[in-house]
Amino acid sequence: MSKVSQYRSQNTLSQVDNVRPHRFFQQLWQPNRHLEMRRADKFSLQQLVEAYNQTRVDYIVPMPMNVARLNEYIKLYDIDLTASWVALKEETIHGLGMLGIRKDRAWITRVGVLPSGRRKGTGRAIIERLLQSAEERHLTTIWLEVIKGNEPAYQLFLTSGFQPTRELVVARRPPDLREFSGNGYFNGENIVRMVDVSRSTAFNLLDKRHARPNWLIESESFYNVPDLQAIFVECEDGAQGWAICQPDKFQLKHIVVEALQGDPASVSCRLLKALHERYFTRDAIMENLPEQDPTWQGFKNAGYFDVFRRIEMVKNGHQN
């Protein structure tokens, strides 16, 4: 059995099979009666950005936002602002959280509490209201990620009924002009054929991945990605694979690679080096690859380094 086939047999969906189903919304706290919860669509994107950035002033990993970036985030990840919530006290925002919705699934994201609202039940109030939004829409599974090391948030999610599924890697690779070969292929990688793949074919490849992707890199996340680029590579030893990314002026984003034939680490490394020869001036960011995915070694071999980790969590439920 090839390494790819072995990995297929260990699909990470099995990690959540034993999570006990239950209703999403089970109130586990005494509500802060001084807080008002208001739907996020009642606020402008500028107001949401300003509040969100204040929640991140002392965050474990800085993640500044602006209006354009938030607007893109909402489109890419199917955020429903009518199901997202803002916590206020005396008309001052103390926290917020957003809910993405796809079919019968939901995703909690961008949860943050301003320093003035912490240790007052604000975070739990936001989570409970997001869970209630999911239940009202008859969604059967809800996902989220928490940055590894953010123990207060991790404990909040655990006590709200979420269970960890896997660890996800966020990695970066700076540009290195010394690697540019100038001859159309990366030096020494034995690539005999490299072709550009159409957008429709790229979506077909994304749908056929061997393991369950995280919400950020699900196929649906790519539907609204402009200027999506994809390549297919074949090597002298018969190895094959494809890579997808979004190049902008300074960076490669939304990077996904898949080995079809051959050792996943070797194939992914060759794919990435081919990408970086083409876009040799770009910085690169890869998000939410499962730590156990065999292509992670290929990313490291291609010059990527670990920036931080996220813990993926899930809560399953059923409707009465």
pLDDT-based confidence at 15, cuts 50/70/90? very low
- Fold adopted by 170-311: Aminopeptidase (3.40.630)
Across 173-181, average pLDDT: 72
Residue 39 has pLDDT above 90, yes or no: yes
Q: How far apart are CA 259 and CA 81, in angstroms?
A: 37
- Please write the tens of the pLDDT for every residue from 100-121: 999 999 999 999 998 877 888 9
pLDDT, position 59: 78
Q: How far apart are CA 161 and CA 49, in angstroms?
A: 28
pLDDT, position 317: 61
Query: Could you tell me how many residues make up the chain?
Result: 320
Residue 31 has pLDDT above 80, yes or no: no
Q: How far apart are CA 69 and CA 37, in angstroms?
A: 24
Q: What percent of the chain has pLDDT over 90?
A: 74
- Please write the tens of the pLDDT for every residue from 143-170: 999 999 999 999 999 999 999 999 999 9
Domains 23-160 and 170-311 are alike in CATH topology: yes
Q: What is the pTM of this model?
A: 0.86
252 within 8 A of 238, measured Cβ to Cβ:
no
- Please write the tens of the pLDDT for every residue from 68-93: 999 999 999 999 999 999 999 989 99
Residue 137 has pLDDT above 70, yes or no: yes
pLDDT, position 16: 41
179 within 8 A of 295, measured Cβ to Cβ:
no
Q: Where are the domains positioned within the chain?
A: 23-160, 170-311
DSSP state of 10: T
Residue 179 has pLDDT above 80, yes or no: no
pLDDT, position 116: 78
Q: Between the CA of residue 70 and those of 50, 78, 127, 251, 256, what are the distances in Å?
A: 11, 12, 20, 18, 22
Across 205-217, average pLDDT: 95
Q: How far apart are CA 294 and CA 89, in angstroms?
A: 48
Q: How far apart are CA 78 and CA 274, in angstroms?
A: 31
282 within 8 A of 121, measured Cβ to Cβ:
no
> What is the H or E stretch that residue 144 is in?
strand 141-147
CATH class of 23-160: alpha beta
Residue 58 has pLDDT above 50, yes or no: yes
DSSP state of 79: B
Residue 129 has pLDDT above 70, yes or no: yes
pLDDT, position 189: 65
pLDDT-based confidence at 20, cuts 50/70/90? very low
pLDDT, position 14: 39
Q: What is the mean pLDDT of the chain?
A: 87
- Please write the tens of the pLDDT for every residue from 225-264: 989 999 999 999 999 999 999 999 999 999 999 999 999 9
